[in-house]
Every structure is written in structure tokens, then in C-alpha cells.
Structure 1
Amino acid sequence: MSYILKRVGTFVWMLWVATTLNFIIPRMMPGNPAEAIYGKFQGQLSPSALKAMEIQFGVNTGVPLWKQYLTYLWNMLHLNFGVSYNYYPTKVSTIIAQSLPYTIGLVGISLVIAFAVGTLLGIYGAWRRNGKLDSIQSPVLLFFQSIPAFWLGLVMLFYFGFIKGWFPYSHAYSDGATPSLTWGFISDLLWHATLPGLALILTGLGGWMLGMRNMMVQTLGDDYITFAEAKGAPQRTLMLRYAARNAILPNFTGFGQSLAAVIAGSVLVESIFSYPGIGYALQQGILAEDYPLIQGIFLIIAAVTLFVNMIVDILYVRLDPRVRGGGDAV
């Protein structure tokens, strides 16, 4: 139990650090958002308009920094990230709530598929190493892994979207479609997600396959595998229960860390396909200097990353009790 409490304490501490940095860093930058917007109009606005924007955006108000910090923490506890400058007067929390499901659906499902298929291919490839499947899959998947996902997405977009016209090349669903839990809308959603999803899956398979294959080969040489084989354990039991169960631990850790990155989305892939996920919203926020949106997204990414890593650490102890310090009981 003490191990879990330590992990929870570390999570709370690191979340506070991330939140504090998220408050301090933008305030260390020269200028402020109101001045950036005022400058874009190049003298078309009066100084009173600048003052009004500063009051609206909460900058240069004369409020002490420590009071601003306490207000900021209170707002973060209530998931109040402020109002987007680029999509004014829409709240940042609304934009994140609208974008997050698309990213989880696209990047999350692509990650799960790549992890599951890549891990299974790695298990079988190591068990039947130097066989026909292993000789083909290793160079092919490693070739795709060496290609950036956004570049593969561009190639697929050009050929299957523009040349062949088999798939749409932008947005999450067709113009005029109304989001609903109907098969018509869901099929349209999957159709639009096919090309960006394939780009993410194909470029991710090689890493999971190679990692699992290497660990399986190493594990298959351990003494307990040889002993179990000498006792006449079935081949399927040796492969899955003895070898794969222990070899999958590093892949499981990597999967947890990658799962945290799902919230960040794939900025370049989502931007290429104009897919309305978190990555695309972050890109639009950066281009528009929308500080509240950027801060809100970064804080969500940090919180989810820390939380997932905490869960992975706790689950890892269940899979491998040797990592407990000093024999702590969970």
C-alpha cells in the first residue's frame, strides 16, 4: 500500500509543478496577448481599445502576481482555462471538450491496433525466428517505421485522396452531416479516419514488433524456459504463458507512455488532414498566439501524462513484484 501512496504523492507533486510552470512561463515572455492583437491592426485601434483588451484578458491589471497565481489555481481546479482569443468568446474548456473525442478516437484506436498487432507479430516472429513470416515482416515493418507518419499521410492523401478519390482528404465527417450515434454517421466518421489512422498504424507497427521480438528472443534463452520445455510443457504454453508474459513488460511500459501521448494527438497528421483533434487545435492556437488555448491544452497533456504514468507504475508491480522497493506489500 505504501508503494501506491508514494506514486499518488509523486503524481500530486509533479502536477503542481506542471501547473505552476504553466502559469509562470507565459508571464516571463515579453509583451502580452492584448499587445499582440493590438499590433496586428497597426494603429487602426485607439489606446483605449488596448486598455479594454488588457482588462478583458486579465493582463496589466495591477493585481499582485501571487493573487493572480491563487486565482489561476482556483480556476484550474474548476477546469476554467479562460476564454480563447482566437475563438472568442468560446471557452477553452469547450474547445478541448469538442476536440478531445476525435483525438482519442483516431490516435487512441490507432495506437491500440498498432500495439496489439505489433506485439503479436513480435511474439510469433521470435518463436518462429528466421522463418518465412519473420524474414518478410521485419524489413517491411522497419521500413515503414523509418517513415515519418505525416510524410506517409501526405503520400496516401495525394494518391488515395486526390488521384483515386477513394477517401476524403479533410475533416472528420462529411459536410452537412449531423453528429449522431447512427450507423450512417459512424461509417462516415470511420471513412474519414481511414487514411490518417493507417498512417499512424503503419508507422507504429515496426517499433512494437521489434521490441517484443527482441525481448522474446532474450527470454526464450532463459533457464526456466529450458526447464519448462524439458518437463514437456506444451508449445503454446511456453510461448504465451512463460515467454511472452515476461517479455511483454517493457512493451507494456512503452504502451503506457504512448497512451499518455494520445491526448497530445498527432499535430502534423491532424493538421495535414484538417482533422479536428487536440493536435489540430494546438496548431491553430500557436499560429494565432492563443495563449489560453495553448496553456489549457498543455496542462491537460501534462495531467494525463502524469496520471497514466502513475497507473502504469502501479500496474507494473502487479505484473512484476520485483520492482517493489524493500518488499512493500501492495
Structure 2
Amino acid sequence: MAFILRRLVFYCVAIFVAISFNFVLPRLMPGDPVAAMFAAAGGKMPPETIAAYKEMLGFVDAPLWQQYLQYLQSVVTFDLGPSIMLFPTPVTEVLSNTLPWTVFLAGIATILSILIGCFIGLYASYNRGGFVDRFMPVFWQFIASMPQAVTALMIFFIFALTLSWFPLGFGFDPDLEPGLRPGFLANVAYHAVLPLVTLMLSMIATWVFTMRNAMVNVLGEDYIAMAKAKGLSSRRIMSHYAARNAILPVVTAVSMALGFAVAGQVFIETVFNYPGIGQLIIKAVAARDYPLMQACFLLIVICVLVANFIADILYVWLDPRLRK
């Protein structure tokens, strides 16, 4: 329990630092971000209107500590102001409309890639020198070494543009009414196939190598040799002795993947025109929508920290030594 409390304090401090950095970053930019925002959009606003927008967005002519306290209050109350790109829609509403798509895509891709990659790594480690151990890791490493944007463009060009097996983009057909109906859910799954496969291909190699290397190290331990000497079956040795200890490095990799999968979908969602956080960040940067950019970056940081905190809890559950 003490270990979890210490980690919780650490992550609370990390979130506080991330919030502070998110506040300082746009204010370190040269010039006036609000004026530059309207100038880039070609807007000619009177000074009174620009001053009103500054106050609404937190860029007020006040001491920095007052601006910081105002920003902290807006983060705690989830009142992040309106989006410039989609004015007057609040930033929280924009995020609530896009976050479920990213969580759905990143969550399913992470779970499937973990299951497939760990199974391949587990099989390869127990059959060292075989076909899977020699060739499959090389194949997955070649796939993972390709940039996500290149992989996404290739898959999009072949299966969506050339063969027309899958739609060209978006999360569902525009003529469908959203709802928890089998027809709509099936259409959502159909639109998610190509971005899901692209994200999985970039992640599977991590689990193959992580699980294989961890299992190779564990299979050389004395207690594995003792289990074999007792005449235990290979399945029991793999599941009850080896896999439980080899899974610890995988937990660390999972925590990082869950967090960075959200950030790693920027190119994938842009190529497939998928309505998630990744595509939203690109649009916010192009429109100089500072409130929306700050919210997206802060959300990514929180996802990474929450995923790592969950990994710490799993570590305590899997490794009894941490409970002492």
C-alpha cells in the first residue's frame, strides 16, 4: 500500500508539472498568440474585440501568477474555454466528441497486438531455432521499422483507393444516425478496420521481442529446470512458472503503449480521416487553436501517466516482493 501511495504522489506531481508546462508554452512564443491567430486567419479585428478574446482565452494583461491561478482553476473545473476553430463550441465538448474514437481505436489495437505479439514471442522462445523463432521476428521488425505514415498510405492506397474493399475515411457513414444499434456498430467497426490494422502492425513487433527475450531469460532459471525435473508438462511450466515472471517487462511496455498509442495515431487518423484526437491536433495546429492544442497535449500526458500508474498497480499484484 505504501508503494502505491508513493507512486500516486509522484504522478500527482507529474500532472502538476505537465499542467504548468502547458500553461507556459504558448506564453513563451514570440509576439501575441491571440493577435497572431487572427492575423494568420486574415481577420481584421478592432482592438476591443481582440482584448475581449484575450480575456476569454486567459491571455490577459495581468501578472503571470494571476494568469496561472486562473488557468489552474479552468483545468480543475474543466472550463477550458471555447475552441477558436469551432467557436463558440467549448473545448471540453470538442474533446468529448473525439476522445471515444481514439480510445476505441487505441484500446482495441493495443489489446489485439499484445495478444498476438505475446503469443508469437511465447511460441518462438519455447521453440528456439524453429521457423517462427528465425523468421517471424525479422518480418515484424521490418514492418515496425516502416514509418506509420508510410504504412498507413500503403494500406489506404491498396485496400481503400485501389481495391475499394473499405471506405475512404471517417468513423461511419454520414447518412446513419449514431446509436447503440447493431447496424451502426457494425458500420463503425467496418470503418475502423484499416486504421486498426495499421496501428496494430506498428505495435506487434514490440510485444514479440519483449515477450521472447523475457521468456528466454526466464527459461534459463533454476526453478524452470527443477520444474522440468519434476516431470511437469510443458504447458504447466509455461503458464504457471515462466509466463508469470516473464510478463513483468511486458507490463511496463503495455503501460507505455497505452499512453503513446493516443499520440501515435496522429498520422494514422489523418490519413484515414478518422475523427479522433490525432486528426484534431493537426487541425488545431493548422488553425492556431491554442486552447484546443493545450487541451489535447494535456490529455495525452494524462493518458501516459494514468497508464503508468495502472502498470504500477499491476506490478504489485504480479510481484509479491513489492508488497513488503
For the superposition of Structure 1 and Structure 2, which TM-score range results when normalised by the shorter chain? Answer: over 0.9
Cα shift at 1:273: 0.7
Q: 2:190 — aligned with what?
A: 191
CA distance in 1 between counterparts of 2:305 and 2:228 reads 41
Q: Given that residues 26 and 33 in structure 2 are in contact (C-alpha distance below 8 angstroms), is that contact kept between their aligned partners in structure 1? A: no
Q: 1:278 — aligned with what?
A: 277
CA distance in 2 between counterparts of 1:218 and 1:94 reads 48
Cα shift at 1:42: 5.4
Query: Equivalent residue of 2:164, what SS?
Result: coil
Q: Given that residues 150 and 269 in structure 1 are in contact (C-alpha distance below 8 angstroms), is that contact kept between their aligned partners in structure 2? A: yes
Q: Which moved more, 1:256-265 or 1:273-282?
A: 256-265
Q: Given that residues 211 and 250 in structure 2 are in contact (C-alpha distance below 8 angstroms), is that contact kept between their aligned partners in structure 1? A: yes
Query: Equivalent residue of 1:26, what SS?
Result: helix
CA distance in 1 between counterparts of 2:43 and 2:11 reads 47
Q: Does 1:37 align with 2:37?
A: yes
| Within-5 A mapping of 1:1-330 | 1-40=1-40, 44-59=44-59, 61-264=60-263, 266-322=265-321, 324=322, 329=324
Structure 2: tracts of 5 or more residues without a match: none
CA distance in 1 between counterparts of 2:281 and 2:97 reads 13
Cα shift at 1:62: 2.9
Q: Which moved more, 1:120-129 or 1:141-150?
A: 141-150
1:248-269 deviations in whole A, cap 9, x for unaligned? 1101110011112234351001
CA distance in 1 between counterparts of 2:286 and 2:40 reads 13
Q: 1:47 to 1:79 in 2, by over 3 A?
A: closer
Q: Given that residues 128 and 134 in structure 1 are in contact (C-alpha distance below 8 angstroms), is that contact kept between their aligned partners in structure 2? A: yes
Q: 1:93 to 1:127 in 2, by over 3 A?
A: same
CA distance in 2 between counterparts of 1:38 and 1:295 reads 18
Q: Which moved more, 1:276-285 or 1:34-43?
A: 34-43
CA distance in 2 between counterparts of 1:164 and 1:111 reads 27
CA distance in 1 between counterparts of 2:313 and 2:203 reads 25
CA distance in 2 between counterparts of 1:292 and 1:47 reads 20
Query: Equivalent residue of 1:90, what SS?
Result: coil
Matching residue's letter, 2:33: P
Matching residue's letter, 1:304: C
Cα shift at 1:309: 1.2
Q: 1:279 to 1:223 in 2, by over 3 A?
A: same
CA distance in 2 between counterparts of 1:38 and 1:23 reads 20
Q: Given that residues 106 and 258 in structure 2 are in contact (C-alpha distance below 8 angstroms), is that contact kept between their aligned partners in structure 1? A: no
Matching residue's letter, 1:75: S
Cα shift at 1:86: 0.8
Q: 1:56 to 1:5 in 2, by over 3 A?
A: closer
Matching residue's letter, 1:311: I
1:144-172 deviations in whole A, cap 9, x for unaligned? 12222221111111111111111112111
Q: 1:70 to 1:213 in 2, by over 3 A?
A: same
Matching residue's letter, 2:26: P
User: Which structure has the higher relative contact order (CA within 8 Å, separation 6+)?
Assistant: 1
Q: Which moved more, 1:28-37 or 1:223-232?
A: 28-37
Q: 1:177 to 1:138 in 2, by over 3 A?
A: same
1:192-222 deviations in whole A, cap 9, x for unaligned? 1111111111222122111111111121111
**RMSD after superposition:** 1.8
Q: 1:71 to 1:49 in 2, by over 3 A?
A: closer
Q: 1:256 to 1:153 in 2, by over 3 A?
A: same
CA distance in 2 between counterparts of 1:56 and 1:15 reads 24
Matching residue's letter, 2:51: K
CA distance in 2 between counterparts of 1:56 and 1:123 reads 55
Q: Which moved more, 1:126-135 or 1:250-259?
A: 126-135
Q: Given that residues 86 and 290 in structure 1 are in contact (C-alpha distance below 8 angstroms), is that contact kept between their aligned partners in structure 2? A: yes
Give the alignment's TM-score, normalised by structure 2: 0.94
Query: Equivalent residue of 1:62, what SS?
Result: coil
Q: 1:41 to 1:321 in 2, by over 3 A?
A: closer
CA distance in 2 between counterparts of 1:44 and 1:251 reads 54
CA distance in 2 between counterparts of 1:145 and 1:233 reads 37
Q: Given that residues 106 and 261 in structure 2 are in contact (C-alpha distance below 8 angstroms), is that contact kept between their aligned partners in structure 1? A: yes
Q: Given that residues 58 and 71 in structure 2 are in contact (C-alpha distance below 8 angstroms), is that contact kept between their aligned partners in structure 1? A: no
How many residues in Structure 1 have an aligned counterpart in Structure 2? 324
CA distance in 2 between counterparts of 1:203 and 1:247 reads 22
Cα shift at 1:63: 2.7
